[in-house]
Amino acid sequence: MRYEIKGEPLPVAICYPVRGESITTESGAMSWRSPDFKMETKAGGIGKAFGRMFSGESMFQNVYTATSDDQYIAFASSFPGAIKAIEITPNRPVICQKTAFLAATEGVDLSIHLQKKVGAGFFGGEGFIMNKLSGNGIAFVELDGSVYEYELKAGEKLVISTGNLAYCDATVDIGIQSVGGVKNALFGGEGLFNTVVTGPGKVVIQSMSRAEQVVKTQTNS
């Protein structure tokens, strides 16, 4: 499916499906579209619906299917930042932060990913439950602030401030480490723990976390 991502700092993904092609979105994610679409709201089963709810997504998803050629449908970001298109293949599932999912082409499955490490779940800033994108197709995720990508080799580590991990390959290990030192922890402004990711795989970092976005919005208002 042809697509383009336009605009800053509130980008929009515009997809151009042909007749019979479908795109799945979060409930309420559609911003505008041409008229020739069939819309269907699905839960995808009770287990998947509750799983999405616990991972910060809507229980229901909307499926838009083009009923003629030369159609278009747009999905806008809800926060200042970036929209990234991720190619999902059976050999390359991706783990992303809660609430990141925006839309996906047919064949991409959104499910929950449980953190295996208790420490990472409690203190890593990502929580026990994250989202997993698997299957085959293109997924669109909305991220906060600017986006930076790193390709980690096997065993290579990267220390990330809490909440700034946007998404990574499923091959990447997610853990935590303490800041170290009482003075550093209390007055360093970095909190008690940082997230540590270990390769191999791609790691994508966002310059601002969703929590920081909310605080700034409330402060400015």
pLDDT, residue 209, reads 72
pLDDT, residue 115, reads 61
Cβ-Cβ contacts under 8 Å for 189 (sequence gap 6 or more): none
pLDDT, residue 162, reads 78
Distances (CA, A) of 214 to 75, 78, 125, 190, 207: 21, 11, 15, 18, 14
Q: Which CATH class is domain 2-216?
A: alpha beta
pLDDT, residue 90, reads 95
Are residues 42 and 60 in contact, defined by beta-carbon separation less than 8 angstroms?
yes
Residue ranges covered by each domain of the chain: 2-216
What residue ranges in the chain does DSSP mark as E strands?
2-6, 12-16, 22-26, 30-33, 37-42, 61-66, 73-76, 81-88, 94-96, 101-105, 108-114, 129-135, 137-144, 147-152, 157-160, 165-169, 173-178, 193-198, 201-206
pLDDT, residue 24, reads 93
Buried b (16+ CB within 10 A) or exposed e, 132-163: bbbbebbbbbbbbbebeeeebeeeeebebebb
User: What are the pLDDT tens digits along the chain (221 aa)?
Assistant: 999 999 878 999 999 999 999 999 988 889 999 999 999 988 754 445 445 454 455 668 899 999 999 999 999 988 899 999 999 999 999 999 888 899 999 999 988 876 655 444 444 444 457 889 999 999 999 999 999 999 999 999 999 987 899 999 999 998 888 765 444 444 444 556 788 999 999 999 999 876 555 444 444 45
pLDDT, residue 212, reads 53
pLDDT, residue 91, reads 95
pLDDT, residue 117, reads 53
Residue among 204, 196, 96 nearest 155 (CA)? 196
pLDDT, residue 39, reads 96
Distances (CA, A) of 85 to 8, 15, 24, 142, 190: 15, 11, 14, 9, 30
